[in-house]
Amino acid sequence: MKRWLLILLLPMVVGAQEDPGDGDVWSDDAWDDVAQSSRWSGFVEAGFGTRLDRDPLVSNRTTLEELRGRIESDWAPGRFAIKLRADGGYDGIDNDWFADVRDLTLSFTLGSDIDVKAGRQVQTWGTGDLVFLNDLFPKDFVSFFAGRDDEYLKAPSNALRISRFSSAVNIDVVWVPVFEPDNYLTGERFAFFSPAAGTTVAPDPPLSGVEPKESFSNGEFALRLYRTVEGREYALYAYRGFFKQPTALTASLEPTFAPLHAFGASLRRPAGIGLFNAEVSYYDSRDDRSGTDPRVPNDQFRALAGYEWEARTNFTVGLQYYLEWTLDHDALVANSPWPQYEPDEYRHLVTNRMTYRTDRDRFVWSWFTFLSPSDRDVHIRASLTYRYSDRWSLTGGVNGFGGRDAHTFFGQLEDASNAYLRVRYNR
């Protein structure tokens, strides 16, 4: 059964029809392409990924097996702007078709200094590199670990975003009426650790957290105040909503999302030969401020410091240190039914990014390490992207996981280590 081979070849069939981008020379009408008020673009991508070892819990050895199409367009009727970006295709692991609208928004400007954007949208803020403190917009860890493009780490949510700009301070207010959790590990594609079972599990039906009832007060509210002064970027953040992973339990011991307030701040600025970033966030677990309720995660203080610089021509290095300090840790351990699986009071994480670009960015070699000396686990992301032309690109990579214990974030994924290949045809 070489279905994946067929999948990888399909974009070539699509792409073989015509390839005007590569053969064509200057011609005056090409300028006019862009003048049209709406245009369509997109891509077809085939992806295939497989575990390096079998996972006894998950029958599928493949971690990525999909043919994906993207359409993208925007229109500007009058004062409004409409944007669409949507994926659809077939997922060979789910054995099903999928459709995924990543952006469908209506934007307009009120007065001169207020931008409004309503609809389904991907949002990102904060200063971390693949580490998020005050960015509580949904993440898709399944895509991230399966070898999809990094863009899929950020999942869309249905939101209203109002931004006000002024020389004193810029303000972003985001309202997500219906709570949108992360795309967390469910046991479908990747097994995860269950403290109740004391081991990694891949339940059938897969894990599904009980989401908060839909109501105004159960919506998510996110706020950012920010300002850039002489190249230094300052920001303050606030969030009211829920933990994005089902780390709490309901009264009937089903996984659910605990209510959360978060407050934080960040700074990003040039320093020496590179860029320095620092960010802090206080997670106020609204239902367990004393830390005594074993069903609800404790308050946390999170801090990040990072530095990125170009170590030599076309070679960029980034280092980050990240701390998760679980407050009232004694109370957590004292009340926990499984204290051995509770997080350490201090979870330390260091990351390292190395990016090397060669042949005028045709080749991008990327290496990213997450390493936690306290959890004793590691996640390595290595990839090579070859941009053959404006139409064709090829990405291959490895996602490696390891850890001493099965109950840590990356340790639970040890059997999920995988290698993947993606072919994309852009249009």
Partner 1 sequence: MIRMLVSVALVAMIAFDARADVLTDPNEIVARANLAAYYAGADGSAEVRMLISDVQDRRQRRQFTVLRRDIADGGDQQFLVVFSQPSDVRGTVFLVDKHIDRDDDRWLYLPGLDLVKRISAGDKRTSFVGAHYFYEDVSGRRPTEDTHELIETTDTAYVLRHVPIDVGSVEFGSYVTWIDRETFLPMKIEYTNPAGRLYRRVEVLEVATFDGHPTVTVSRVSDLSSGGRTDMQFRYIQYDIGLPADVFAERSLRNPPREWLQRPTD
Q: Which of 14, 42, 284, 335 binds partner 1 (CB under 8 A)?
A: 42
User: Residue 2 or residue 360: which is nearer to partner 1 going by CB?
Assistant: 360
Residues in contact with 199: Cβ distance below 8 Å, sequence separation at least 6, in sequence order: 193, 406
Selected range binding partner 1 among 51-59, 267-275, 281-289, 406-414, rule: CB under 8 A = 267-275
Selected range binding partner 1 among 4-12, 48-56, 120-128, 187-195, rule: CB under 8 A = 120-128
Q: Which of 5, 9, 12, 30 binds partner 1 (CB under 8 A)?
A: 30
Q: What are the distances in angstroms from CA 226 to CA 125, 161, 198, 322, 332?
A: 11, 15, 44, 22, 35
User: Residue 189 or residue 391: which is nearer to partner 1 going by CB?
Assistant: 391
Q: What are the distances in angstroms from CA 336 to CA 88, 283, 294, 339, 341?
A: 43, 20, 5, 5, 9
* Residue among 239, 146, 138 nearest 188 (CA): 146
Is residue 349 within 8 Å of residue 322, measured between CB atoms? Answer: yes
Q: Which of 91, 100, 149, 344 binds partner 1 (CB under 8 A)?
A: 149
Neighbours of 257 (CB within 10 A): 24
Selected range binding partner 1 among 2-10, 33-41, 186-194, 238-246, rule: CB under 8 A = 33-41
User: Residue 237 or residue 325: which is nearer to partner 1 going by CB?
Assistant: 237
Q: What are the distances in angstroms from CA 132 to CA 126, 181, 188, 244, 330?
A: 7, 14, 25, 12, 26
Residue 233 sits in the site that holds partner 1 (CB under 8 A): yes
User: Residue 81 or residue 93: which is nearer to partner 1 going by CB?
Assistant: 81
Both structure tokens of 346: 């201090």
Residue 97 sits in the site that holds partner 1 (CB under 8 A): no
Number of H helices, E strands in the chain: 4, 22
Both structure tokens of 214: 């839909």
Residue 387 sits in the site that holds partner 1 (CB under 8 A): yes
Neighbours of 25 (CB within 10 A): 5
Concatenated DSSP letters for 405-421? -TTSTTGGGGGG-EEEE
Q: Which of 12, 22, 77, 290 binds partner 1 (CB under 8 A)?
A: 22
Residue 122 sits in the site that holds partner 1 (CB under 8 A): yes
Contact residues: partner 1, CB under 8 A: 21-26, 30-31, 33-35, 41-43, 72, 76, 81, 107, 109, 115, 117, 121-125, 149-151, 153-154, 163, 165, 167, 170, 226, 228, 231, 233, 268, 270, 273-275, 308-310, 312-314, 316, 357, 360-362, 387, 389-391, 393, 424, 426-427
